[in-house]
Amino acid sequence: MDEEIAHLLFQDECMIRDYQAVQYTWFLRGKQRIIPTYGKHHGVKLIGVLNYETGRVHCVEEEQYDAEAFLRFLQHVPKQYPTGKIVMVLDNARIHHARLIQPFLEENQNRLELVFLPPYSPEMNLIEGLWK
């Protein structure tokens, strides 16, 4: 990295569901309870970053996780951190490598750098612990 890092951010996506998924229950045989469900599987999809230095979390809500949503998020990050070099640590999801985001990354290479974690290493992404 050519210059000092002003903001080290850890990025990820998550979904918060507004329903409970009942998989297993314990009841006496013949005395099972009826657990009502409402047939609607709604939730909130979030894309966010955790600031390593301050612990500040910034996230946005999206309808779906795709390259367009990730590009909107990337365009939003420099507005949240208007000065200094931003390094964003993230996983290797396909949307993070999409061709659609490459022109934005090239345009902002002096301000924003993406650092990809090794495959299957969520323990190295500090924001992962927040979503659980």
What pLDDT, in 10s, does the model give residues 19-78?
A: 655 566 566 677 766 666 666 667 788 999 999 999 999 999 998 889 999 999 999 999
The verdict on pTM exceeding 0.95 is no
CATH class of 5-131: alpha beta
- Residue position matching structure tokens 């569901």: 17
| Cβ 43 vs Cβ 21: under 8 Å | no
Paired sense of beta strands 43-51 and 112-116, if any = unpaired
Per the listing, tokens 């979030």 go with 46
Spatial separation of the C-alpha atoms in residues 83 and 1, rounded to whole Å: 17
Nearest residue to 15 via CA among 48, 39, 40, 38: 48
What does the pLDDT look like over 90-122, one tens digit per residue? Answer: 999 999 999 999 999 999 999 999 999 999 888
- Give the start-to-end residue ranges of the domains of the chain: 5-131
